[in-house]
A and B are shown apart, each in its own frame.
Chain A
């Protein structure tokens, strides 16, 4: 039902004035400022003046920062793959549960998903610590001689990021797997396929679009992680997001931080775009 604009449409458009001001003033303008600032002149004093200076992009391409960007992309990609591998069978089983059990799990997963990254990093820091960590459990079980610290390390960053991403992966796969036509599975089993074979030949191909869009979301989410790499890793494990914060707040170099933010934006946008294009036609 799309009534064509008429005399009454003026009143309708009037209600859109406050939201337009809000979105224009506090999203479109701040967002444009990033692009403008990324080509601004940085002054010795730490301030900057708007202009057209490509020095910050040149610095990005000729310094260690381009390596950090590649590292961030590879890390986010790995986290996306690992969390989907863990989440897919889990969500598949979850959708087969009774409504009550399913809802309890969904509530817990939503609650964990919303938990501040600061708190998640803190929890894993304790679990990886020498005094109160999981190595104490191994000592108690007689596997290890004495407890030791597992963080900061690359493994700690990886585990922390998977923990951060897993609830998202489950919730993103949940709709597609809930709507999965169970009669397809029954048909496959009636025809003599084992549950494992059914899973690989029926369930997995049907869920391809959900897996792809879930992967993209986890990729972008991991690109945005800021606390876990800082708390559980060494400076060598820092991602682009951490480096942007570092440049903006601790080095007062807003133009360079902005240039890095534009790069991060392009990286996220490119992945979203390419995958959206690959996924066209399939799915709904």
Chain B
């Protein structure tokens, strides 16, 4: 090769290298997205904009759950280090932490990421923050970010409202929406309506520098979205009645559930003892939670929905109604009070239905149920029981017993209405007859209900044969009440039969010797029925009632654990609740004082 021609080889090498470079640039700049995505990860950061969480109001617009301004303190270890560290003692002091706690938070932040901020102190209320805001600059790496603190200023209805708190590992694993430090509803309405209350997050895209500080909006802010605030939820609760109920139930264990019969709207749900919601939302949650959890009266236990009791005498009214409906008795049918079969009390001997309810006659209802279960149709008492119990259970369930009442309370326990299969399992197929199971005829035995089931029963009686699914939601945002909240359930029993029972209930309250005379409310016809639930630690005092008799505005159940007979304690409490709701005030001072001073079952360490 002529030496002069070697310029082609050398020039060729130059061109070849340029072509290789251009090929590489085509791959890097035009074709592959790998490095572009890496660049975006390095230079862009999205900031989640939390929407304001929806408030909760009562039926009159009074605020139950509110948001309060607060601040979290975030800390970036690397920034602190490059700036030469900080005075831990002074920092701990303004944050109101011990130096040891602060050191632990520093270590945790370091372990998470030294160049990213993490929260070292949560939920500083606005008034505390105002005092320390001016000091914060002295501590490099620290910054304050606004957040809202959920608060229940009245401290009422804590069981119903539920908990709103920081997500844990499980939440983050099950839903990618949640990031460390996010909050969510964990129980009660806060959980059930979490999405509606939460609203929609906004996103702001930032360009960050090598230290991960926000420097400029990314994409000129075109991809940014504003947060959509959560929807306010109006409840059917009457906060005044709720507050009154919680007040008179102080120092007692038990529950009150009050329902507006015509609509199924729950007016009050008192579970005693109660606690202040805010105990479980703030920084002290951990220790508060432990002491509440370990308290002997189980304040965290929502008795209105989850405590199951045997219905006792109150159940006799249902027995009477379905017996009338099936024609096994007429209102005038009299049955001999045979105390050899089953014990009874009082001085009656041959009651009709109305009297039997007033006297709570056990043999009467033993006989009534016997006629339904052991009707002799098959000529075998075992087969009779086996054939007839199913239909009987169905009739009981039509009153809401043993059902979820339409399903608007996820925490609700359905209770138990025993069925053929249940007894088959317990005793063996056709190994049981009415004589085996007769205790359910007077509301004992395997029957179990909750306070809300019993309040709903009061509503069924008030409505003369139907109920609307009990619910607490009045409005969600401006969408109004969800349609399914108006669902109506019918017992299928002729309303005419109810009049007999209701007359009896009026008698219970108004009769001179009526067991429920303490339930009287001056100026109103109260219908009620006492119950005394057998319990080894002292019987539970139970009362259900509705008023006024002819235009019922309120139906309720009252449970006071270990307090004795239904007429002594539950009935006067029902009276006070009815008076408070219908009159707005309570004139029966004596009655009120007697209840307020009572502590059941025994004095305990205060909450």
Pair from one complex: no
